[in-house]
């Protein structure tokens, strides 16, 4: 077994003890608009978590901090709910989006869609080429997903509710001509369109502020048994290193990362949460999320 200095947790502040910086509606202007301190444990510490509410109609900036009987804290408004569970109960949160309130009409092509994401950047960027394993763990369940669309207006290429984890895999070598380039590596938990989510590989697009970077998202079957459609708790425990290397190779084959090699790459950030391009009301909860690198 490697020593403790070779087995490293990449997710910082897993229990949100340093607070969360809330951002506004526009991904192209990601300024912090409020500092959330759900547990009041470290108001002077620098928050590492960020809460994104891109393309929403209802701003959590003015949402009250509500403490629940079990010690959890809720922030809620007409369009969304965030519940953060008290440190000591493990990394745990609930995210809920009310698409029926966010949309006044079915989403049209190239129209932005509501997001509710928790994200953070990696403090230290360990090269993937120097890892023996990169283990991801989470236990989660879909609380519900209710379709609020008329069947005549639903289009599967435009409308869905999806809950995913994304890792940004970046060129961190400052001597490389591709320094700063990256791809999105996806771990899908739920997509309304599929009981068994297929693998996806394409450019990030569909809205004006899309990054235009390559997305490589695993199939559900590559991550877990069963389907989140059943509303049961599902646990994931997976070494991602092989899959990320496949994602980098696929990106290069599709014309991306042309000035980047595997030896340049590291995990630079992650996010977890809802993207809601359709008129759906949905909620997901999770606990015990971990991303741990075992170095060579």
pLDDT digits (tens, 9 = 90+) for 234-262: 999 999 999 999 999 999 999 999 999 99
Number of domains in the chain: 1
The candidate with the shortest Cα–Cα distance to 282, out of 151, 128, 164, is 164
Which has more pLDDT, 3 or 97?
Answer: 97
Tokens 């403090």 sit on residue: 123
Report pLDDT for 90: 62
226 pLDDT band, cuts 50/70/90, is: very high
Q: Which two tokens stand for residue 71?
A: 């010690």
Residue range of the domain that includes 31: 4-295
- Are 207 and 200 a contacting pair, CB within 8 Å? no
Report pLDDT for 28: 73
CATH of the domain at 111: 2.60.120
Beta 182-191 vs 162-171: how paired, if at all?
Answer: antiparallel
**Which segment of 85-94, 136-145, 155-164 scores lowest on mean pLDDT?**
85-94
- 187-199 mean pLDDT: 97
Tens-digit pLDDT profile for residues 259-277: 999 999 999 999 999 999 9
Report pLDDT for 283: 98
Report pLDDT for 2: 46
Report pLDDT for 27: 72
The candidate with the shortest Cα–Cα distance to 47, out of 146, 120, 137, 122, is 120
What is the radius of gyration, based on Cα positions, of the chain? 19
d(CA 92, CA 125): 24
Contacts of 255 (CB under 8 A, 6+ apart): none
Tokens 């997710």 sit on residue: 11
Report pLDDT for 42: 62
Tens-digit pLDDT profile for residues 27-36: 777 889 999 9
126-139 burial by CB neighbour count: b if 16+ within 10 A, else e?
Answer: bbbeebeebbbebb
3 pLDDT band, cuts 50/70/90, is: low
What's the mean pLDDT when you consider all of the chain?
Answer: 93
d(CA 229, CA 231): 6
Beta 234-239 vs 73-76: how paired, if at all?
Answer: unpaired
1 pLDDT band, cuts 50/70/90, is: very low
Beta 7-9 vs 280-295: how paired, if at all?
Answer: antiparallel
HEC sequence for 102-167: HCCCCCCCCCCCCEEEEEEECCCCCEHHHEEEEEEEEEEEEEEEEECCCCCCCCCCCCCCEEEEEE
- 208-231 mean pLDDT: 93
- 16-34 mean pLDDT: 87
Is the per-residue pLDDT at 81 higher than 90?
A: yes
In the chain, the percentage of residues whose pLDDT exceeds 70 is 96
- 142-159 mean pLDDT: 95
Report pLDDT for 4: 56
Q: If you ran DSSP here, which 8-state letter would residue 221 be given?
A: G
Tens-digit pLDDT profile for residues 90-143: 678 999 999 999 999 999 999 999 999 999 999 889 999 999 999 999 999 999
41 pLDDT band, cuts 50/70/90, is: low
């Amino acid at each position: 077994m490697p020593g403790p200095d070779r087995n490293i947790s990449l997710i910082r502040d897993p229990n949100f003890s340093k607070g969360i910086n809330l951002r506004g509606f526009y991904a192209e202007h990601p300024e912090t608009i409020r500092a959330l301190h759900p547990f009041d444990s470290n108001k002077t510490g620098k928050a590492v978590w960020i809460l994104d509410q891109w393309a929403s109609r209802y701003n959590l900036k003015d949402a009250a901090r509500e403490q629940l009987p079990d010690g959890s804290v809720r922030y809620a408004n007409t369009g969304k709910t965030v519940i953060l569970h008290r440190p000591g109960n493990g990394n745990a949160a609930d995210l809920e989006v009310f698409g029926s309130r966010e949309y006044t009409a079915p989403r049209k092509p190239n129209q932005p869609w509501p997001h509710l994401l928790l994200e953070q950047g990696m403090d230290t960027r360990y090269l993937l080429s120097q890892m023996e394993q990169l283990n991801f763990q989470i236990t989660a369940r879909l609380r519900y997903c209710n379709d609020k669309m008329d069947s005549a207006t639903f289009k599967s290429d435009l409308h869905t509710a999806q809950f995913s984890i994304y890792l940004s895999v970046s060129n961190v070598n400052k001597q490389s001509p591709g320094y700063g380039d990256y791809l999105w590596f996806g771990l899908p938990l739920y997509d309304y369109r599929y009981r068994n989510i297929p693998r996806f590989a394409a450019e990030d697009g569909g809205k004006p502020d899309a990054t235009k970077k390559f997305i490589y998202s695993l199939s559900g079957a590559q991550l877990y048994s069963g389907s989140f459609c059943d509303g049961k708790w599902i646990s994931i425990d997976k070494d991602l290193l092989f899959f990320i290397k496949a994602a980098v190779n696929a990106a290069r084959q599709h014309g991306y990362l042309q000035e980047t090699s595997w030896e340049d790459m590291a995990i630079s950030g992650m996010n977890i949460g809802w993207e809601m391009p359709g008129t759906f009301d949905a909620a997901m909860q999770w606990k015990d999320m971990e991303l741990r690198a075992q170095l060579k």
